[in-house]
Amino acid sequence: MSKFVFLYGGQSEPTDDVMAAWHEWFDSIGSNIVDSGNPFGAGREVAHGEGTDLTEAMGPATGYSIVNADSLDAAVKLLDGCPSSVTRVYEAMPM
């Protein structure tokens, strides 16, 4: 079993319906969740010491979760029903 990080993107207003969809999806993947994560606030991209505030036009990550899955394909399958409009999936490599 490996850990995978879901980085969510896209924007949606946190209405009651949207929050209910997130709770329903988290319930559906239940025991795979290591850390359900949090939404992100303002961010900055830093390269070579220079920082640029992230804007919506730059497509920043809007939140994260960490899950357990047997493979990258299995992690992607966990996204069925996820309310995020865009999700990037990364395997967290052991060190």
Q: Domain total for the chain?
A: 1
- Pairing mode, strands 44-47 and 50-53: antiparallel
- Residue 58: burial class (beta carbons within 10 Å; 0-12, 13-18, 19+): exposed
pLDDT tens digits, 36-87: 999 998 999 999 989 999 888 888 899 999 999 999 999 999 999 999 989 9
Residue 73: burial class (beta carbons within 10 Å; 0-12, 13-18, 19+): exposed
Q: Which domain holds residue 12?
A: 2-92
pLDDT in tens, 9-40: 987 777 899 889 999 999 999 999 999 999 99
CATH at 23: 3.30.70.1060
The structure tokens listed for 48 are: 């070579």
**pLDDT at residue 56 in the model:** 84
